[in-house]
């Protein structure tokens, strides 16, 4: 018998880092092609993707730049494509990105 009772089995090949709701800066272009910038809350990060919480939904395929530690000497930016967007509440959406190389 399996010992994985009610716990979900992790299927990832890489480690996922829980970022304890770290504030990140996101950049994207809206449907009109206008560049947008705002803050979101990054929930976790893995080698191939990340998950953030934002107040508006994104479309699958949207390209987003995520900047950790913005405007500091530890600033680091990654780029990803939206692969999932789930409604948490009327004003909160979990947005999953597949990171691009």
**What is d(CA 59, CA 37) in angstroms, rounded to the nearest whole number?**
16
Predicted confidence band of residue 54 (pLDDT cuts 50, 70, 90): very high
For residue 101, the model assigns a pLDDT of 76
Question: From CA 62, how far away is CA 83, in angstroms rounded?
Answer: 8
Give the single-character DSSP code of 14: S
Calculate the average pLDDT of the chain.
Answer: 86
Q: Does pLDDT of 62 surpass 90?
A: yes
pLDDT band at 18 (very low <50, low <70, confident <90, very high): low
Task: State the pTM of this model.
Answer: 0.81
Residues 27-48, mean pLDDT to the nearest whole number: 94
């Amino acid at each position: 018998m399996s010992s994985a009772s009610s716990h979900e089995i992790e299927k990832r090949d890489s480690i996922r880092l829980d970022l304890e709701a770290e504030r990140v800066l996101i950049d994207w272009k809206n449907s009109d092609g206008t560049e947008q910038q705002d803050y979101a809350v990054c929930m976790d990060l893995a080698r191939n993707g990340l998950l953030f919480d934002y107040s508006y939904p994104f479309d699958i395929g949207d390209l987003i730049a995520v900047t950790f530690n913005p405007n500091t000497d530890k600033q680091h930016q990654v780029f990803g494509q939206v692969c999932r967007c789930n409604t948490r509440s009327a004003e909160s959406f979990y947005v999953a990105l597949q990171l691009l190389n």
